[in-house]
Amino acid sequence: MSGTLYGLGVGPGDPELMTLKAARILSSVSVVAYPAPDSGESFARAIAAEHIDKNAEEISILVPMRPDKFPHEIYAEAAQRIAKRLHQGQDVAVLCEGDPFFYGSFMYLYDLLIEEFPCVVIPGVSSLTACAAVAGRPLAGRNSLLSVIPGPLDSETISAQLNTCEAAAIMKVGRHFKRLYKLVEDEGLLERAVYVERATLSEQRVLPLADVPQDRAPYFSMILIDKGSRPNGPKSVVT
Amino acid sequence: MSGTLYGLGVGPGDPELMTLKAARILSSVSVVAYPAPDSGESFARAIAAEHIDKNAEEISILVPMRPDKFPHEIYAEAAQRIAKRLHQGQDVAVLCEGDPFFYGSFMYLYDLLIEEFPCVVIPGVSSLTACAAVAGRPLAGRNSLLSVIPGPLDSETISAQLNTCEAAAIMKVGRHFKRLYKLVEDEGLLERAVYVERATLSEQRVLPLADVPQDRAPYFSMILIDKGSRPNGPKSVVT
């Protein structure tokens, strides 16, 4: 009997934003895996630390900090290490910042292991709604069209989306900040945009996009836009 | 000293998908408010029931089940009742299905009360990521453009979004099911669409959209679409 692979969403950063379910499962497994940077602490592990069993084996997946290049080999190797424990009948929990299936790296492990092992994904609070909460701004309401736009996408695609949607969240801002700022400004949306950095952590920053002084942003930052009712938003609602 | 208004996301349905923070705050407040249907139990209350203090006052906000008409008067009256407790220095927790700022009715209370009272929003697991988790399908990865589309929107807007995005979640399917099915089919996406109903609850259903036999769907249902890499998706990534 092989073990079960758990993809555990641990939420956006505040350890209290973990779900009861993720906390319970984490405290019950004998193997815990998580991504970690070349140097320094794993963010996912830091969020979930207090629920890890003291006797659990920990598998640190070293992922270099290059946001737009994906190191397939690293996850293939991690999947092999995890598969070994699952074959031995041990349950393995993989800690995922935010939600496992919302722009997370867990899906690479999932793809590699789902054919062979039982797998359970526990959804978590995503950065999307966490940023809206700390900004005190509803993300999308009633019948608003919401676009979730990764910042590294090309400018033409982003502008078209900003033009069509009623609400938008631009993710993975990072070093694309200056270009994204300009795109938002060119669409006449600067006054309706808010910038959120490291939501729910003590070093969190929330400010109008127009007031952001720097040219770059950390990877964990987001731009939220809410047009309200704009002429070029969706035209009608079928009742 | 007035009390604090809490907007508590209680998650998509499984009581264990509440966050530790929502559970703690809920157990500490003396007044709890929640939407409830004309007849029957409040879904938000059912999710969070075990964390409600036995001595807490409960305010049931009766909301008739008409998904596309919004009864402003009901929320205005509820806001007045809640304001009275806040003025008396009592903390009030409003229970919100999923996340308070993700297509929830909490934003109406928030708009009415935010000017006068301190307000804290606790994000929750949204139906968006819960549906992806139970379907076992990543919602969006890497630099995928994700459209969150309310089903009641007009067909032209929905088709345009389905054409442009790489991944889509169609919310509030309900009685628009048949029209939405046709729109997905017309975009050639039927094979890439999955239907999820009442995610994380015992009566949950997950099946390929093409296999759904009925013409209507409950309000708490969603269609998830993942195109993978399609020619008319976003063209390039700025690295």
Any bridge partners for residue A61, and if so which?
A: A35
| pLDDT (0 to 100) of residue A60 | 96
Among A19, A152, A238, whose Cβ lies nearest the Cβ of B19?
Answer: A19
DSSP B104-144: -THHHHHHHHTTTS-EEEE----HHHHHHHHHT--SB-TT-
| pLDDT (0 to 100) of residue B147 | 98
Alpha-carbon distance B85 to nearest alpha carbon in chain A (angstroms): 22
Q: What is the ipTM of this complex?
A: 0.93
Q: Closest by alpha carbon to B7, among B80, B76, B127, B105?
A: B105
Spell out which residues of chain B touch residue A107, defining contact as CB-CB under 8 Å.
138, 141
Give CA–CA dist B78/B185, Å, rounded.
Answer: 42
Q: Which residue ranges in chain A fall short of pLDDT 70?
A: 65-70, 229-239
Residue of B157, B158, B163, B239 to mutate, testing the A interface (most A Cβ within 10 Å of its Cβ): B157
CB B78 within 8 A of CB B109: yes
Cα–Cα–Cα angle for B102, A168, B143, rounded to 5 degrees: 105
Instruction: Indicate the domain borders of chain B.
Output: 5-125, 128-226
Interface contact flag, A237 B154, Cβ < 8 Å: yes
**Model pTM score:** 0.93
Interface contact flag, A139 B101, Cβ < 8 Å: yes
Among B19, B107, B154, whose Cβ lies nearest the Cβ of A141?
Answer: B107
Alpha-carbon distance B218 to nearest alpha carbon in chain A (angstroms): 16
| pLDDT (0 to 100) of residue A199 | 95
Alpha-carbon distance B59 to nearest alpha carbon in chain A (angstroms): 23
Give just the sign of the alpha carbon dihedral B177, B207, A5, B143.
Answer: negative
| pLDDT (0 to 100) of residue B142 | 86
Spell out which residues of chain A touch residue B141, defining contact as CB-CB under 8 Å.
103-104, 107
Full 3-state SS string of chain A:
CCCCEEEEECECCCHHHCEHHHHHHHHHCCEEEEEECCCCCCHHHHHHHHHCCCCCEEEEEECCCCCCCCCHHHHHHHHHHHHHHHHCCCCEEEEECECCCECCCHHHHHHHHCCCCCEEEECCCCHHHHHHHHHCCCCECCCCCEEEEECCECHHHHHHHHHHCCEEEEECCHHHHHHHHHHHHHCCCHHHEEEEECCCCCCCEEEEHHHCCCCCCCCCEEEEEECCCCCCCCCCECC
Interface contact flag, A133 B157, Cβ < 8 Å: no
One fold for B5-125 and B128-226: no
CB A194 within 8 A of CB A206: yes
Alpha-carbon distance A40 to nearest alpha carbon in chain B (angstroms): 23
Q: List, for residues B109-141, the tens digit of each pLDDT value.
A: 999 999 999 999 999 999 999 999 999 999 998
- For domain A5-125, give the fold: Cobalt-precorrin-4 Transmethylase; domain 1 (3.40.1010)
- Closest CA in chain A for residue B148: A146
Interface contact flag, B148 A148, Cβ < 8 Å: yes
Spell out which residues of chain B touch residue A238, defining contact as CB-CB under 8 Å.
152-155, 176, 179
Share of chain B above pLDDT 90, in %: 82
Q: Hunting for tokens 């909490």 — which residue is that? A: B106
CB B119 within 8 A of CB B4: yes
Alpha-carbon distance B65 to nearest alpha carbon in chain A (angstroms): 14
Residue of A121, A194, A222 to mutate, testing the B interface (most B Cβ within 10 Å of its Cβ): A121
CB A145 within 8 A of CB A166: yes
Q: List, for residues B145-164, the tens digit of each pLDDT value.
A: 999 999 999 999 999 999 99
- Please give the residue that has the higher pLDDT: either B26 or A74: B26
- For domain A128-226, give the fold: 3.30.950
| pLDDT (0 to 100) of residue B10 | 98
Spell out which residues of chain A touch residue B157, defining contact as CB-CB under 8 Å.
145, 234-235
Give CA–CA dist B179/A50, Å, rounded.
Answer: 48
Q: List, for residues B79-101, the tens digit of each pLDDT value.
A: 999 999 999 999 999 999 999 99
